[in-house]
Amino acid sequence: MQSLDAHRTAALLPWPALVDALRDMLRRRHAGLTASPERLAVPLAGGTLLAMPATDGEYASTKLVTVHEGNPARGLPVLLGEVLLLRADTGERLLMLDGPTVTARRTAAISALAALELAPPQRESLLVVGSGVQARAHLDAFTEVLGVRRAWVCSRTVAHARAFAEQARARGIDCRAIDTPEEVLGKADLVVTGTTATAPVFRDQPSFAGFVAAVGAFRPHMCELPAALVARAKLFVDDLAGARHEAGDLLQAGVDWATVTPLERVIASADGIDFLESSSGQGVSTITAHLKL
């Protein structure tokens, strides 16, 4: 069995191919051809242990990760873990992948896929709230898959935002650090929030109508979006069962779950985009929330 480090894991998951694979996976899940029970979360001293098994009949995998918010003070990453890939018919172990890399790329690729299906055609600019691993993964995925040409980044720590922007420019991406999201909220075609916040990361603007990928609030007490924005938006999630228990933004806004659409239904439906366009006569925000790390 091969064990791949972060660099080799990333090389195995190029953005366009990963987006296509996730699109196919969502179609198969909608058809009942996959199984992925709700993830198991075990409280630990100072963190959480998460276990996520899944199978498509041919292969099976399990992701085992830990989340410890205090790790940076110890010189360790917040997220540590592995993904084990095996044959479903024999249980033979095939690959061990770097868990944080799979997490970052899978989440960002799902966001990019959602934007391809749900966002307006104008997708040249991106506002990123957060400056960590998810922020970088989303910037890279959105530039490569969606053709984003300009980006802004905002972080609670100004120095982190500036470093993020500088590193992005070194990779050839036009990126600028800003002090508050409100500075460009009305200008950005796409918005990504990838933080561990427990309160909204920007103030609601009733005139705002755009695409938001909210990927940070994976616990009921966590929150990145204003409740008023959630209340008037079209809502999509990658995992409806998990969202009912874990999507802090949606839970705290008290959403009617009958109004929340699984992304797999959009992917599987030939008229999914028509449904979205005809659901409102006015500019309404589209929010897609991701739960599984």
All structural domains of the chain = 2-100 (3.30.1780.10), 103-289 (3.40.50.720)
Q: What is the pLDDT of residue 207?
A: 84
231-268 pLDDT, tens digit each: 999 999 998 888 898 899 999 999 999 999 999 999 98
Q: What's the rounded Cα separation, in Å, for the pair 72 and 55?
A: 33
b/e code 146-164 from CB counts within 10 Å (16+ = b) = bebebbbbbbeeeebbeeb
Provide the 10 A C-beta neighbour count for residue 126. 27
Question: What pLDDT score was predicted for residue 289?
Answer: 60
Long-range contacts for 87-96 (Cβ within 8 Å, ≥24 apart)? Answer: 87/58, 87/59, 87/60, 88/55, 88/56, 88/57, 88/58, 88/59, 88/60, 89/58, 91/60, 93/1, 94/1, 94/2, 94/59, 95/1, 95/2, 95/3, 95/4, 96/1, 96/2, 96/3, 96/4
- Give the tens place of pLDDT for each residue, 70-110: 998 999 998 999 999 999 999 999 999 999 999 999 999 99
Report the pLDDT value the prediction gives residue 283, as an integer from 0 to 100.
36
Q: What is the pLDDT of residue 293?
A: 37
What is the structure's pLDDT at 209?
A: 84
Q: pTM value?
A: 0.90
